[in-house]
Amino acid sequence: MPVATNVGIIYRSTAFSIYLMTQSIFNVIASNQPQTWQEILSDLITDPKELVEALNLNLDSKPVSMAELRKFPLKVPRPFVLAMKKGNWSDPLLRQVWPSKEEDIKKEGFSPDPLKEKEVNPVAGLLHKYQGRVLLTTTSLCAVHCRYCFRRHFDYDSNSPSREHWKNAITYIKNDSSIREVILSGGDPLAASDRQLSWLIERLESVQHIETLRIHTRIPLVLPQRLTLNLSNLLRKTRLKVVIVIHCNHAQEITDLVKAGLNLMSECGIVLLNQSVLLAEVNDSSEILAELSQKLFSVNVLPYYLHMPDKVTGTVHFSVSRSKALAIVKSMQAILPGYLVPQLAQEEPEKPSKTHLI
């Protein structure tokens, strides 16, 4: 089909030109930024003092929880910092990464493993919770440490990904023909190199009953330089249907560079969905979430899930009550078309699927 192929090439090259143009604009604006995603990943901001200085803030006015910082260190990629508003402790992006003293708050019902993932971990590196799909902890590495993360206490040491683990996981998948979808999670699966992803995808596509590869990732928002032409080529050539679920919580995260990277992915036929976590003082209003849905749609991403935050130790300050969550989604229903209203859901251990709350 030469005509279609040519059109495809034109589309792809247009997307790539826009991507390159945006990259170079980005590099001019932030001329001291490293250029490759690997370089940015190896130069994350890990010192709270450096972060507050970059944002013209004062460390004394928002003390950190030293205990939680030691257990779950600060990690922020510089492109994500550029998307934050300076001089504003209430910035919704900053709140997601700041190891606030509020993390010391203890509350009944909060625990290190609220989803009881240890109980659905039959092979190292693989979680089998729901019928027909399994999750691989592709890498323990994340580009950012989100303070609300439900895996902030996950036992990555026992599930640390290695080819040996992956081989055992693939054998498990081969032996269960009811599994049709493999979800790459982490850590963040896009923190793995193209070589590692390619190795893994080749093995997964050789399992006949696997049809879909789903990638759950926050990297497109915090390190959009990772969405390269190489990656899109890698994902285009697999026989598996590829779905990327980005984890975007606020419209402010969708910068021009994010838009260009997502455009590159959607041009090669990847289905793009979003899941957000409902977080107090980040996105707990129908106006903020409606703006997010509209902005997502403008970059070819459909809202998919809005998750109630999991009750993980250290995250009490992000809690939103169920009644408030329901009211927010009802307001969204009144102002948005149905396809832009995400499903309000909660993960509960020992349930055969997520609980839809509305």
Q: Applying CB under 6 A, which residues contact ligand SF4?
A: 142, 144-146, 149, 151, 186-188, 218
Which CB sits closer to ligand SF4, 245 or 336?
245
Instruction: Pick the closest to residue 222 from 185, 267, 190, 184 (CA basis).
Output: 190
* Least spacing, CB of residue 156 vs ligand SF4, in Å: 10
| Closest CB to ligand SF4 among residues 103, 188 | 188
Between 189 and 303, whose beta carbon lies closer to ligand SF4? 189
Q: Distance of CA 345 to CAs 117, 325, 356, Å? A: 18, 10, 4
Indicate the residue among 78 and 174 with the shorter CB distance to ligand SF4.
78
- As measured in angstroms, the least distance from the Cβ of 323 to ligand SF4 is 25
Q: What minimum distance in Å lies between the beta carbon of 217 and ligand SF4?
A: 8
Give the list of residues 6+ apart from residue 149 with CB closer than 8 angstroms, or none. Answer: 72, 142, 312
Nearer to ligand SF4, 134 or 146 (CB): 146
Bridge partners of 214, per DSSP, are 183, 243
Using CA atoms, how far apart are residues 239 and 206, in angstroms rounded to an integer? 10
Report the residue number, 19 or 80, with the smaller CB distance to ligand SF4: 80
Q: Using CA atoms, how far apart are residues 158 and 122, in angstroms rounded to an integer?
A: 12
Residue with tokens 């992956």: 166
Least distance between ligand SF4 and beta carbon 13 (Å): 31
Nearer to ligand SF4, 188 or 267 (CB): 188
d(CA 307, CA 18): 33
Q: Are 145 and 97 in contact (CB under 8 A)?
A: yes
Alpha-carbon gap, residue 223 to 262, rounded angstroms: 12
CB nearer to ligand SF4: pick between 210 and 306: 306
Tell me how long the chain is. Answer: 358
Degrees (nearest 5) of the Cα angle 173, 208, 349?
35
Partner residues linked to 273 by β-bridges: 245, 302
Whole-number minimum distance, CB 280 to ligand SF4, in Å?
Answer: 16
Closest distance to ligand SF4 from the beta carbon of 45 (Å): 15
Nearest-approach distance from CB 149 to ligand SF4, in angstroms: 3
d(CA 50, CA 73) in angstroms, rounded, equals 14
Secondary structure (DSSP) of 6-67:
HHHHHHHHHHHHHHHHHHHHHHHHTTTS-SSHHHHHTT-B--HHHHHHHTT--GGGS-B-HH
Smallest separation (angstroms) from ligand SF4 to the CB of 18:
26
